[in-house]
Amino acid sequence: MAEKKHGSQAALAPYCAATAPEDAIQPQPSCHNTRHSRSLTAYADITDASPEECLHRLATSRVVLLGCGGLGGHVLEGLARAGVGFLRVVDGDTFSPSNLNRQTLCTEHTLGQNKALAAQQRAAAINSEIDVEAVTTFATPATLPGLLQGMHVVVDALDNVAARFQLAEAACTCGIPVVHGAVAGFSGHATVVYPGDTSLHSIYATNQGEAPNSPNTMAGATEAPGVAPPTPALIAAVQVAETIKILLGKPELTLRNRLFLCDLGRAYAQVLHLT
């Protein structure tokens, strides 16, 4: 696949891998005609746009995914299969044996591999019609503006609260929505945060008025109880659905100012209103 130039890719060049592996498997000709046939009626159920217009919107959309671990791997899978035209996947971490229980991109063969590169290779194997850019470093407040520039949606698959607030601030400045998800044990939640929303503050209530970046509020959602294998798959599926609805122009159907909350261990789920 020929390399395409997108947004601030030139500025990010030192951190980015090639657009697709040279030995990527080419799809069978029939794939192009039938790939999305099972999705069209689902899209028609939530939008008045024609099937062709829905597919065009997705094919011309640009999404940045921060984190390619438990949540991110499943999100990558869903967005690639949906045909989102450009994905920028960002992660500076490598796979370790403790990732094998829940991270779909982690196999015994990818141990030690950079997670963003594994995501890029997986997406290429699923859908050669999309463009995937791997950024093999962690996002920082300094690099976030460049990573988000020119994107339509950013998916938060991070693993600590400090980074989530930094991302929300950068996304607000860039004027794009954040599809947020977090998991711990058998529990997880997801929401959509548009510029100016205060949803993250409602979710991560600080102790006795402490600032969001204080030491007492910085623990990642995954640190204490670990993460059960099914939890990232469920929350990532919600994140993929929310991303697709935004890209199809149906923000009123999203979880904006609402929180999807579940506990798979106790077979419990609900949607809360955030203020």
Task: Let me know if residue 160 belongs to a domain.
Answer: yes
Quote the strand ranges of 39-162, DSSP E. Answer: 62-66, 86-90, 131-135, 153-156
Task: Let me know if residue 105 belongs to a domain.
Answer: yes
Task: Let me know if residue 146 belongs to a domain.
Answer: yes
Do 65 and 155 touch, CB atoms closer than 8 A? yes
Total of domains in the chain: 1
- What does DSSP say about strands 187-193 and 153-156: parallel, antiparallel, or unpaired? unpaired
Find the domain containing 186 and state its range: 9-22+38-273
Task: Let me know if residue 48 belongs to a domain.
Answer: yes
pTM (2 d.p.): 0.84
Task: Let me know if residue 97 belongs to a domain.
Answer: yes
- What does DSSP say about strands 131-135 and 86-90: parallel, antiparallel, or unpaired? parallel
Do 135 and 114 touch, CB atoms closer than 8 A? no
Task: Let me know if residue 29 belongs to a domain.
Answer: no
Task: Let me know if residue 3 belongs to a domain.
Answer: no
d(CA 275, CA 272): 10
Task: Let me know if residue 2 belongs to a domain.
Answer: no
| Residues constituting the chain | 275
pLDDT tens, N- to C-terminus, the chain (275 residues): 333 434 434 333 333 333 344 444 454 444 555 889 889 889 989 999 999 999 999 999 999 999 999 999 999 999 999 999 999 999 999 999 999 999 999 999 999 999 999 999 999 999 999 999 999 999 999 999 999 999 999 999 999 999 999 999 999 999 999 999 999 999 999 999 999 999 999 999 754 344 444 333 333 444 456 899 999 999 999 999 999 999 999 999 999 999 999 999 999 999 999 97
What CATH number should be reported for the domain holding residue 144?
Answer: 3.40.50.720
